[in-house]
Chains A and B, each alone.
Chain A
Amino acid sequence: MSETKRLFRVWGVMTAVIPILILAVLALTGCSGPGEIAVVEPTATIYAPPPTDIPAPPPGPTPAALDFPIAAPTRAETEPEDEASDATCVDCHTSEQVLQAMATEEEAPEVESEGEG
């Protein structure tokens, strides 16, 4: 037998035996007991913040009732310096009864005009 043939034969045996050995080792390893498992403390799940209410829009301008015609601005120089009370004037001149009671007959002229004016 030549040297070459002998080498081929060794190579063939090794090619067949080596995978078998590997499989055997793996099988034996799987039958061993479980290794120690490190305990990892759970951490809190981070959630998205809950939805908040959509803020209400700021209140718009509220129309205010105006008295028309709008009062013209007054001018300071036309205001009376010493504002006299005219409450008495108003009291009398807004009272029909008072005015009627105080009214005097207008003096009728002794002569009257004649004809169309």
Chain B
Amino acid sequence: MEAWEKVYLNQESFFETVHGRYGCITCHGGVGDSMDFEAAHEGIVREPASAEACGDCHPDQVATDATSLHSNLAGYTAVLEARSAPEKMDQLDEMMGNHCESCHTTCGQCHVSRPTNLGGGLLAGHEFKEIPPMNLTCTGCHGSRIDDEYKGKNEGVKADVHWMKAGMSCFECHSADELHGALGEFEHRYDGAATPGCQDAGCHSDIAAESGLTYHSGFHFEAMSCQVCHSTTYKNCYSCHVAQQDGVPYYQIEPSVMAFKIGRNPLQSEDRPWEYVPVRHVPVDPESFAYYGEDLLPNFDALPTWKYATPHNIQRNTPQTETCNSCHGNSEVFLTADDVLPEEQEANADVIVEEVPPAMP
């Protein structure tokens, strides 16, 4: 998108809409009666804050903005605090400001423009989209993993059945309440109940332990998440490092690795009771933030690097569902100690499967 296109209001009908009647300056500031570029843009606000710009008319949505993980990035803060120490947080806050804050989402970065993280740019001439276009907003940020999985962009891996057969958009599973943080205050995206669940909204409500389906009875249904059997190979990322050069933030990351690994559930709880879940390697490294200081992650082992995952490439039939011994006795599909880097053994001790279920006769 060219720079001029990002701010081009190609639909003058916008000015007849409710939002358009407020005028530019009400939300964006600036000086309206100046023909001089610099003077006209003095004090301009590119991304109006959600509360100030939207709160008067949309108080319910804005009220939960502070608890929305899209807005407060609490998930980032939670893992940094867990792996670091209070005296290191100032340096990590600086790092966050340089490398992570642009992921922070305002109302407008989904409903009016592409996220700033992608360079911004109006979606459709400043039209407010009640339902944002998923390919310009959701997968703009959740692209290299979720989008590639969901749409089958990973070589040799089919698209998610929900996309391939039903063309379902993100919003058909992920509700506005979930995305707006209206379901409660959570530390990270897997905090609390599994939302969305496969049996929500009447979907797959006939799938239950006593449904009569061969592999949905007893142990299998209760011991593993749906994705253990119904997802397939996905990306795993390693060794991301952030730094700056001449004041320009950048990152470097190793090429992703396609794999499917079943590990022990690192988030086992009443809400997520399964013993086994797919686990994905996340890009963190003990030296990821070394540019900002020494030993900024002194408690690196406090969290696993192979993390609870919900791959978005659901299939009815997967390599795991072919035969019993696709999993039983097959250490290839389980996260064993051999799969874990020596320096990460401690961090992943609770996730590594020490004893693979025995092969079936």
Contact = CB atoms under 8 A, between A and B. Distances in A.
A74 B18 contact: yes
Contacts of B245: 110-111
B40 interface: yes
Contacts of B253: 113-117
B34 A88 contact: yes
B26 A94 contact: no
A94 B7 CA distance: 9
Q: Chain A: interface secondary structure?
A: loop
A74 B26 contact: no
Contact of A75 (B33, B56, B246, B255): B56
A115 to B, nearest CB: 3
A116 B248 CA distance: 18
Contact of B32 (A84, A100, A114): A84
B21 to A, nearest CB: 7
Q: What class of interface size applies to chain A in its complex with B?
A: 35 or more
Contact of A99 (B4, B16, B56): B4
Interface string B297-336: 0000000000000000000000000000000000000000
Given A75-B56, A104-B3, A90 B18 contact: no
Interface residues of B, number: 43
Interface string B21-34: 11111100011111
Contacts, number: 105
B2 interface: yes
A94 B251 contact: no
Contact of B8 (A78, A83, A96, A104): A96
B185 interface: no
A99 B254 CA distance: 39
Given A111-B248, A112-B250, A117 B23 contact: no
A36 interface: no
B186 interface: no
A3 interface: no
Given A72-B18, A80-B23, A80-B25, A87 B254 contact: no
B24 A90 contact: yes
A71 B252 CA distance: 49
A93 interface: yes
B32 A93 contact: no
B15 interface: yes
A90 B237 contact: no
Contacts of A102: 4, 37
A85 interface: yes
A88 B32 contact: yes
Contacts of B26: 80
Given A109-B250, A111-B250, A84 B8 contact: no
18 contacts: A67-B16, A71-B17, A74-B18, A77-B56, A80-B26, A84-B23, A86-B25, A88-B33, A89-B25, A89-B40, A103-B2, A103-B3, A104-B3, A113-B251, A114-B251, A115-B251, A117-B143, A117-B253
Interface of A: 67, 71-72, 74-75, 77-80, 83-90, 92-94, 96, 99-100, 102-106, 109-117
